[in-house]
Amino acid sequence: VTEPDLAGRHVVISAGGTREPLDPVRFLGNRSSGKQGYALARTAAARGARVTLIAANTALPDPAGVDVVPVGTAVQLREAVLKAASEADAVVMAAAVADFRPATYAAGKIKKKDDQEPEPIVLIRNPDILAEISTDRPRPGQVVVGFAAETDDVLANGRTKLERKGCDLLVVNEVGERKTFGSEENEAVVLGADGSETPVPYGPKEALAETVWDLVTRRLR
């Protein structure tokens, strides 16, 4: 039986992956499916929370009883998250946000020209939404959670990232064959700013989501 331990709480979750357009038909994107963010939304709703799900380019059914806000780019995701975060008890940034975007957008489709090499793509930084929310805390006392996909030195890199971003919890995934992107399963360690380490064994994304909410509710009390 699920305890309604998030009743009366508002949680904001970002899910999916941003797409940064180059021209009307092309973008720079990533492999995030949104499944982990949707699992977080379903489990939070089941635990009684009011849920706002900021969904970046996902192709998943809207979870029942959840407010879904579709977005495309990192800049749009930032706007939507900041708007919702001012009333949120917790913000969980599960979306894969592009760190960079093309410096210019071509209003017409970029053409291939005979006997000419293509123009290089120049990138500029996107705003770091997790770092911004962790620093500014749009609502005092709110819990901020980030995600990090790492390929090596997972724990050490995770600890550095948690400190750099300033969030309360960081879910660190090892990117691998059957894990993380597009998969139904995940395996992670949840690092706390208090120095805690909570390992979550390989299993459904729902199980990781429940652990995140266990850790969040403890910090809300």
Judged by the rule CB under 6 A, the positions of this chain that interact with ligand C5P are 14, 74, 93, 95, 97, 99, 126, 128-130, 146-148
**Residue 150: CB minimum distance to ligand C5P, A:** 8
Please give the Cα distance from 87 to 139 (Å, whole number): 6
Which SS3 state, helix, strand or coil, does residue 165 take? helix
Closest CA to 105 of 13, 207, 21: 21
Distance CA 166, CA 146 (A): 10
Q: Is 186 annotated as catalytic?
A: no
Q: Is 216 helix (H, G, I), strand (E, B) or coil?
A: helix
Of 30, 57, 173, 186, the active-site residue reads: 30
Residues placed in the known binding site for CTP: 99, 109, 127-130, 147, 161, 165
Say how far apart CA 167 and CA 55 lie, in whole Å.
21
CB nearer ligand C5P, residue 34 or residue 63: 34
CB of 108 to ligand C5P, least distance (A): 28
- State the nearest-atom distance from the C-beta of 165 to ligand C5P, in Å: 6
Question: CB 130 → ligand C5P: shortest distance, Å?
Answer: 3
Task: CB nearer to ligand C5P: give 38 or 147.
Answer: 147
CB 88 within 8 A of CB 12: yes
Nearer to ligand C5P, 33 or 126 (CB): 126
Can you say which residues are annotated as belonging to the binding site?
99, 109, 127-130, 147, 161, 165
Report the distance separating Cα 122 and Cα 146, nearest Å.
28
The burial class, CB within 10 Å (0-12 / 13-18 / 19+), for 125 is exposed
Q: Where are the beta strands (DSSP E) in the chain?
A: 10-16, 20-23, 26-28, 50-56, 67-71, 90-93, 100-102, 123-125, 143-150, 169-174, 185-192, 197-204
- For 219, other C-beta atoms within 10 Å of its C-beta total 18
CB of 148 to ligand C5P, least distance (A): 5
Question: Which residues are marked as active site?
Answer: 30
